[in-house]
């Protein structure tokens, strides 16, 4: 027992006030005159006794009020053990339902131990059931009904999310703020090391929570998994598409695994791979022969381990015809098309087919049939064609313009409308050429294609950057790459040519990724992903696509979104592994393969010292499975002492004493008034 | 009539003469009789003349008819002598309401004086005493006697304590003539002491009347808790309990009153208990009854 604010005890000196007043009052009592005491006998013994009884009771009540007031401010507390506080504590049972609990009978063991713990608790003790993965799911409110608690534990189903002890600790901190009583938390989990948050402090429990750990496994078990798959989300030429998969073994011996590529449920290809002990091996499939449309693909291994759920990695592939690109050039310029077409053709996907047309013959060509349009250093465009291109851009089309020596003679950049103030020649001799000095790496085509410093520029068109985003500048601050938003579309201007005359960019290795990324950016191909992880969020609509219904079908074939959510939700969390079918707000349909986080496949356990540190007990606060069923309350937890303030009880005593004092004092005063 | 004899009403009247007049006139009017009743010269009997008798009392009309001399005798022609002994000790200051015992005694004495002098033509005197005789006004029928007596009453402020033994011989000196002696006191003394002290007055042929004046709270005090009581004469302090006051004290004061009444009756004296919240008519009735008996 102690006091949290002992300095307030100095207020106890105030008890001298009623003592002084009561003594003074006794001395100054007013006697009554009487005509004669002839018939009065001095029976003072009983008289004084009677008066002092009442007097002392009033004095005692007043002293009690003062002492209780001082004690309430001093905030007294006692150290109570968990056992002594068992009548008021809250028993919280948290069952791990993360992806790793699918291994063997881990989840069933955890639920069985949890039910045994609930069955052996004090029947009058309140308990609450939680299930946790990456998030905490409250299965019940604090109740004492054993049937409710047991059914809540039984209803916990295995999840595909990654476990997070940090999320569990955060939830307990929230519960501890609302529940004033001590909390005894029992965690039934596989104590997976990868479930720990980056910072150990995130796992720390509040002061009034005593933690008891119930590991459902004692030792780590080896586990095989397909850790990752690198496959194109879109395929235009199946023969050029490749699939790379990484097979990993956690705690495994060196072995040969059979890896299969499964397309729409059928095994398309199989390979043998030698995986070193506890290591990784890469498998590559040279073709991805999928039919047109969406295909559900997976890479599988024959692991024969205790956790088959992570033996396949799912992804989706969309096969379509190559996209057409309209390449507008001067009739005399054949070099630009050669370099640009070679760059597009050498990309892995071969998603684009170039159709070349001279600028003068552009009239009558419908640009909406093309993924995007390239205007390569043309002297002029027919008036009508330029208007068509402008409307095309405003409606959402994209144009890439290479402004070389020919276009420098124009007043404005076609379609873009940016002012041209002439061309700049740089010397080809010595170090007189210009290079790229500043780049905006957020532009994917520039960010991924690094090493711009080695590209020599001999000529550049000086374009007014007003209203445009400058993505790259030359050393003399001349804008080299500009992007301008016009309506719903974009115009990217390259202030030099693709002809290897005004610069040597086409001869550099970065030319291919630059052209490939720029083409993907302008055609919109980069937005699709064929695979995602559980718990990631899927963008359902943009800010401009409100009030348009979307549709999500989960791996079980159910629609998780309500009608209201389908028209308002902007994102959706992928909670289960499998294939999701989507119909997005922009009208596109998609299929996404969702896989569990492969960190869950590493079944390495938390070290004992970490468990001890977490639970705050020398032996780690860990119970064996048998001990947990026999005695759910370990002695250590029972002996653990924690301060328990009873200032509220003192306040109740203070209130009662004050009321009693008021009643007694008023009666006393009334008696005196009647006598006087 | 009661309204005019109420002590609380009388206390609001300034001047004992007016108080006395109010009481007596109100009392007499309430009798519905003539104020001269019973006190005029009345024929009593005839007695045969014997030598030496005063010839002025011979009824000559009878002698003319019978030639025998008879003397005509009348009843009660003598005047009474009223002497009031007023206790002026400190205990007479006690009061539980607007009229204390001393005021009540003053009203009583003033009313007796008024009735005796104005209505009965009696001589009246006053002795004020506590533990000694503090004032003595000789009984007289002279002009202005009533004013002297009332002035003596006004000056009789309570002080000291009661002691009947000490002023006794003074009483006997003053009361040489036969008459009516009225003692107004709260008689806080042993009844046998009081009787033994006052009894000699009776031997001189005086009619002695004890008017025992007490406050109602002295007879039936009420207390809810123990208090410290201070004797008004001796200043002694004593702490008493409600139980004692409500039971034992009442028994004792009742026994005291009974003993005093019995002692007075045994000694041939009249005793009357006067409570200060009661009207004064009882006092006056007693006086007139005694006065009539003496004629």
Do β-strands A479-486 and A489-494 pair in parallel, antiparallel, or remain unpaired?
antiparallel
Could you tell me which residues come within 8 angstroms of residue A360 by beta carbon, excluding any fewer than 6 positions away?
A331, A380, A382
Over residues B170-179, the mean pLDDT reads 70
The pLDDT-based confidence of A226 (bands split at 50, 70, 90) is: very high
Cα gap B10→B19, rounded to integer Å = 6
Closest CA to A400 of A319, A343, A350: A343
CB contact under 8 A, B91 and A42: no
* Burial of residue A233, with CB atoms counted within 10 A of its CB: 0-12 exposed, 13-18 middle, 19 or more buried: buried
- What's the mean pLDDT in B51-63? 87
Check whether A524 has a pLDDT greater than 80: no
pLDDT for position A630: 38
Residue A462 has pLDDT above 90, yes or no: yes
Task: Give residue A629's pLDDT.
Answer: 38
pLDDT given at position A225: 93
Q: Are A237 and A322 in contact (CB under 8 A)?
A: yes
The chain A residue lying nearest B100, using CA atoms, is A35
Q: Is residue A82 scored above 60 in pLDDT?
A: no
Kindly list the residues of chain B whose beta carbon comes within 8 Å of any beta carbon in chain A. Answer: 91-94, 101, 186, 188-189, 215, 218, 223-234, 236-241, 243-245, 248-249, 252-253, 256
User: What pLDDT score was predicted for residue A640?
Assistant: 55
A256 or B226, greater pLDDT: A256
Position A639 scores a pLDDT of 47
Q: DSSP states of A308-322 as a string? A: GGGSEEEEEEEE-PP
Comparing C-alpha atoms, which of A220, A212, A194 is closest to residue A114?
Answer: A212
The CA distance from A616 to A119, in Å, is 26
Q: Which are the contacts of B65, defined by CB distance < 8 A and separation ≥ 6? A: none
CA distance A665 to chain B (A): 15
On the question of pLDDT at B186 being above 60, the answer is yes
Confidence of residue A399 (pLDDT cuts 50, 70, 90): very high
Which of the residues A28, A29, A39 would you substitute to probe the B interface, choosing the one with the greatest number of B C-beta atoms within 10 Å? Answer: A39
Is the pLDDT confidence value at A493 over 90?
yes
pLDDT reported for residue B35: 36
Higher pLDDT, A52 or A269: A269
Asked if residue B100 lies in contact with residue B276, where contact means CB atoms within 8 angstroms, the answer is: yes
> How many Cα atoms within 13 Å fall on the side-chain side of residue B275?
10
Contact list in A for residue B253 (CB cut-off 8 A) is 39
Nearest-Cα residue of chain B relative to residue A40: B249
Query: Which pLDDT score is estimated for A107?
Result: 93
Give the A:B interface size as CB pairs under 8 Å: 91
pLDDT digits (tens, 9 = 90+) for B254-295: 999 999 999 988 888 888 888 888 877 766 776 667 665 544
Token pair for residue B195?
Answer: 């009787």
pLDDT average, residue stretch A69-96: 77
Q: Is the pLDDT of residue B209 over 90?
A: no
Contact between chains at A36 and B241 (C-beta distance less than 8 A): no
Q: Most B CBs within 10 Å: which of A27, A29, A35, as the mutation test of the B interface?
A: A35
Phi and psi at residue A175, to the nearest 5°: -65, -40
Question: Structural domains in chain B?
Answer: 2-33+78-294 (3.40.50.410), 42-75 (no CATH)
Nearest C-alpha of chain A: how many angstroms from B240?
Answer: 6
Distance, C-alpha A347 to centroid of its chain:
35
Would you give the DSSP letter of residue B22? H
Given a contact cutoff of 8 angstroms between Cβ atoms, the answer to whether A316 and A592 are in contact is yes
Quick one: average pLDDT of A152-167? 92
**A248 pLDDT more than 60:** yes
Alpha carbon of A44: minimum distance to chain B alpha carbons (Å): 5
- Give the model's pLDDT for residue A460: 93
**For residue B245, pLDDT beyond 90:** no
Mean pLDDT computed over every residue of chain A: 84
Helices (H), A346-407: 383-394
Residue A611 has pLDDT above 80, yes or no: yes
d(CA B11, CA B108): 12
pLDDT in tens, A273-312: 999 998 899 999 988 889 999 999 999 998 778 888 899 9
**Long-range contacts from A509-514, C-beta under 8 angstroms, 24+ separation:** A509/A451, A510/A449, A510/A450, A510/A451, A510/A452, A510/A455, A511/A339, A511/A343, A511/A449, A512/A343, A512/A346, A512/A347, A513/A445, A513/A448, A513/A449, A514/A343, A514/A445, A514/A446, A514/A449
Q: What share of chain A is helix, strand, coil (3-state, %, to 5)?
A: 35, 30, 40
Q: What mean pLDDT is predicted for residues A530-549?
A: 83
Per-residue pLDDT tens digits for A612-634:
888 876 554 455 443 333 344 44
Query: For residue B81, is pLDDT > 70?
Result: yes
Q: How many CA atoms lie within 13 A of A607 on its CB side?
A: 3
Residue A348 φ/ψ, nearest 5 degrees: -65, -35
- Structure confidence at residue B27 as a pLDDT band (50, 70, 90): low
Picking from B103, B265, B127, the residue whose alpha carbon sits closest to that of residue B183 is B127
Please measure the distance between the N-terminal and C-terminal CA atoms of chain A and give it in whole angstroms: 49
Give the torsion sign (CA, A358, A364, A366, A367): positive
Q: A414: closest CA among A437, A393, A396?
A: A393
pLDDT band, very low/low/confident/very high, at B39 (cuts 50, 70, 90): very low
Mean pLDDT of A495-514: 89
Q: C-alpha angle with apex A257: A252 to A261, nearest 5 degrees? A: 130
Each residue of A252-265: pLDDT tens digit? 899 999 999 999 99
Q: How far is A396 from A408, CA to CA, in rounded Å?
A: 27
Dist CA A611 CA A609 (whole Å): 5
* pLDDT at site A272: 92
Which of A66-75, B64-73, B200-209 is the least confident region?
Answer: B200-209
The pLDDT of residue A631 is 41
Name the helix (H) or strand (E) containing A284.
strand A280-285
Could you give the dihedral angle defined by the CA atoms of residues A414, A415, A417 and A421, in that order, rounded to the nearest 10 degrees? -20
pLDDT at residue B181 tops 60: yes
Give yes or no for residue B176 having a pLDDT over 80: no
Interchain contact, B233 vs A36, CB within 8 Å:
yes
Mutation site, B188, B194, B225, B276, interface A, largest A CB count within 10 A: B225
Residue A216 Rama label (left phi>0; alpha psi -120 to 50; beta): alpha
pLDDT category, B159, cuts 50, 70, 90? confident
**CA A258 to mean position of chain CA atoms:** 35
Query: Distance between CA atoms of A283 and A243, rounded to whole angstroms?
Result: 8
- Rounded to an integer, the average pLDDT of A383-408 is 91
Q: A29 or B198, which is more confident?
A: B198
User: Across residues A161-189, what is the average pLDDT?
Assistant: 89
Instruction: Report all structural domains of chain A as residue ranges with CATH numbers, in order of start.
Output: 2-26+44-81+645-675 (no CATH), 90-220+607-639 (3.40.50.410), 223-320 (2.60.40.10), 323-526 (3.40.50.880), 529-595 (2.60.40)
Q: Give the CA distances from residue A455 to residues A429, A434, A474, A516, A517, in Å, rounded to whole numbers and listed in that order.
A: 14, 8, 10, 18, 18
Taking CB atoms and an 8 Å cutoff, what residues of chain B touch A55? none
For tokens 């860990």, name the residue.
A622
Question: In this predicted structure, which of A201-210, A231-240, A538-547 has the lowest mean pLDDT?
Answer: A538-547
**Tokens at residue A510, please?**
């970065």
Question: CB under 8 Å to B186, separation ≥6 — which residues?
Answer: A35, A36, B87, B89, B91, B92, B94, B101, B162, B212, B213, B214, B218
* For residue A578, pLDDT beyond 90: yes
* A49 → chain B, closest CA residue: B226
Q: How far is B190 from chain A (nearest CA, A)?
A: 9
- Judged against a pLDDT cut of 50, whether residue A673 lies above it is answered with yes
Q: Which residue of A has its CA nearest to B216?
A: A35
Contact between A43 and B224 using a beta-carbon 8 Å cutoff: no
Does the CA dihedral A168-A173-A178-A182 come out positive or negative? positive
**Which of A72-86, A433-447, A476-490, A619-633 bottoms out in mean pLDDT, i.e. has the lowest?**
A619-633
A327 with A371: CB under 8 angstroms? no
**What local confidence, expressed as pLDDT, does residue A624 receive?**
45
CA distance B87 to B102: 8
- Chain segment A323-338, per-residue pLDDT in tens: 899 999 998 888 898 9
> What contacts A95, CB < 8 A, 6 or more positions away?
A107, A110, A111, A114, A129, A130, A131, A132, A153, A156, A188, A189
Of the spans A344-353, A526-535, B101-110, B118-127, which averages the highest pLDDT?
B101-110
**Prediction pTM value:** 0.51
Q: Is the dihedral of CA A305, A309, A310, A316 positive or negative?
A: positive
Return the sign of the alpha-carbon dihedral for residues A403, A409, A412, A418: positive
**A249 three-class SS:** strand
């Amino acid at each position: 027992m102690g006091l949290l604010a002992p300095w307030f005890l100095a207020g106890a000196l105030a008890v001298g006030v009623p003592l002084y007043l009561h003594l003074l009052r006794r001395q100054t009592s007013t006697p009554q005159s009487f005509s004669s005491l002839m018939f009065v006998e001095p029976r003072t013994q009983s008289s004084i006794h009677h008066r002092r009884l009442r007097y002392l009771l009033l004095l005692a009540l007043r002293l009690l009020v003062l002492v209780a007031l001082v004690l309430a401010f001093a905030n007294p507390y006692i150290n109570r053990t968990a056992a002594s506080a068992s009548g008021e504590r809250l028993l919280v049972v948290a069952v791990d339902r993360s992806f790793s609990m699918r291994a063997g009978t881990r989840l069933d063991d955890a639920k069985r131990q949890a039910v045994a713990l609930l069955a052996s608790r004090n029947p009058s003790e309140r308990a609450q059931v939680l299930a946790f993965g990456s998030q905490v799911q409250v299965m019940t409110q604090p109740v004492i009904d054993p049937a409710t608690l047991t059914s809540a534990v039984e209803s916990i189903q295995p999840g595909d999310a990654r476990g997070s002890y940090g999320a569990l600790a955060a939830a307990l901190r929230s519960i501890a703020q609302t529940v004033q009583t001590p909390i005894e938390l029992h965690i039934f989990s596989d104590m997976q090391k990868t479930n720990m948050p980056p910072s150990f402090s995130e796992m720390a429990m509040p002061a009034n929570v005593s933690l008891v750990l119930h590991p459902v496994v004692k030792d780590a078990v080896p586990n095989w998994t397909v850790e990752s798959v690198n496959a194109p989300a879109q395929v235009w030429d199946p023969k050029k598409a490749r699939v790379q998969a990484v097979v990993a073994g956690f705690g495994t011996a060196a072995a040969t695994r059979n890896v299969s590529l499964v397309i729409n449920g059928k095994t398309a290809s199989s390979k043998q791979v030698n995986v070193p002990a506890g290591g990784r091996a890469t498998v590559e499939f040279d073709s991805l022969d999928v039919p047109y449309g969406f295909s559900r693909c997976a890479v599988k291994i024959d692991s024969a381990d205790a956790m088959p759920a992570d033996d396949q990695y799912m992804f989706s592939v969309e096969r379509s015809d190559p996209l057409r690109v309209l390449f507008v050039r001067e009739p005399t310029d054949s070099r630009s098309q050669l370099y640009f077409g070679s760059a597009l053709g050498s990309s892995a996907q071969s998603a684009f087919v170039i159709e070349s047309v001279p600028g003068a013959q552009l009239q009558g060509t419908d640009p909406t049939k093309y993924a995007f349009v390239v205007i390569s250093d043309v002297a002029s465009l027919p008036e009508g064609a330029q208007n068509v291109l402008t409307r095309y851009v405003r409606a959402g089309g994209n144009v890439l313009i290479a402004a070389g020596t020919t276009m420098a003679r124009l007043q404005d950049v076609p379609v873009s409308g940016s002012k041209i103030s002439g061309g700049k020649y740089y010397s080809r001799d010595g170090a007189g050429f210009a290079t790229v000095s500043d780049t905006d790496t957020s532009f994917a085509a520039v960010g991924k294609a690094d090493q711009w410093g080695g590209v020599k520029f001999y000529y550049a068109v000086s374009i007014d950057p007003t209203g445009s985003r400058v993505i790259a500048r030359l050393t003399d601050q001349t804008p080299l790459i500009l992007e301008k938003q016009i309506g719903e579309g974009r115009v990217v201007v390259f202030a030099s040519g693709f002809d290897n005359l005004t610069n040597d960019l086409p001869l550099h290795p970065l030319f291919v990724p630059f052209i490939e990324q720029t083409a993907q950016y302008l055609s919109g191909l980069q937005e699709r992903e064929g695979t995602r992880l559980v718990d990631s969020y899927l963008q359902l609509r943009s800010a401009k696509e409100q009030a348009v219904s979307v549709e999500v079908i989960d791996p079980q074939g159910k629609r998780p979104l309500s009608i209201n959510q389908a028209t308002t939700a902007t994102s959706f969390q992928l909670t289960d592994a499998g294939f999701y079918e989507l119909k997005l707000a922009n009208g596109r349909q998609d299929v996404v393969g969702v896989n569990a986080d492969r960190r869950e496949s590493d079944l390495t356990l938390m070290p004992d010292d970490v468990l001890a540190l977490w639970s705050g007990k020398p032996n780690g606060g860990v119970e064996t499975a048998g001990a947990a069923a026999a005695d759910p309350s370990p002695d250590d937890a029972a002996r653990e002492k924690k301060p328990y303030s009873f200032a509220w009880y003192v306040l109740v005593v203070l209130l009662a004493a004050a009321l009693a004092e008021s009643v007694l004092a008023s009666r006393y005063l009334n008696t005196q008034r009647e006598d006087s | 009539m009661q309204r005019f004899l109420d002590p609380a009403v009388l206390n609001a009247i300034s001047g004992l003469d007016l108080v006395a007049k109010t009481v007596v006139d109100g009392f007499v009017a309430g009798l519905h009789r003539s104020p001269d009743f019973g006190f005029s010269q009345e024929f009593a009997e005839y007695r045969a003349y014997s030598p030496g008798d005063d010839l002025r009392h011979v009824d000559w009309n009878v002698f003319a008819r019978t030639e025998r001399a008879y003397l005509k005798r009348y009843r009660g022609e003598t005047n009474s002598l009223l002497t009031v002994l007023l206790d002026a000790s400190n205990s007479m200051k006690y009061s539980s309401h607007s009229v204390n015992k001393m005021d009540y005694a003053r009203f009583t004495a003033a009313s007796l004086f008024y009735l005796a002098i104005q209505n009965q033509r009696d001589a009246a005197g006053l002795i004020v005493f506590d533990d000694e005789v503090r004032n003595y006004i000789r009984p007289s029928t002279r002009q202005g006697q009533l004013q002297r007596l009332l002035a003596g009453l006004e000056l009789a402020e309570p002080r000291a304590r009661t002691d009947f033994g000490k002023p006794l011989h003074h009483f006997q000196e003053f009361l040489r003539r036969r008459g009516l002696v009225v003692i107004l006191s709260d008689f806080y003394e042993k009844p046998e002491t009081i009787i033994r002290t006052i009894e000699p007055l009776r031997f001189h042929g005086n009619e002695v009347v004890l008017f025992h004046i007490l406050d109602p709270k002295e007879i039936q005090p009420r207390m809810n808790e123990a208090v410290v009581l201070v004797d008004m004469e001796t200043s002694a302090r004593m702490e008493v309990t409600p139980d004692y006051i409500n039971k034992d004290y009442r028994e004792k004061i009742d026994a005291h009153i009974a003993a005093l009444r019995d002692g007075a009756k045994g000694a041939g004296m009249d005793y009357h208990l006067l409570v200060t919240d009661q009207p004064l008519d009882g006092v006056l009735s007693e006086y007139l009854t005694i006065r009539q008996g003496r004629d």
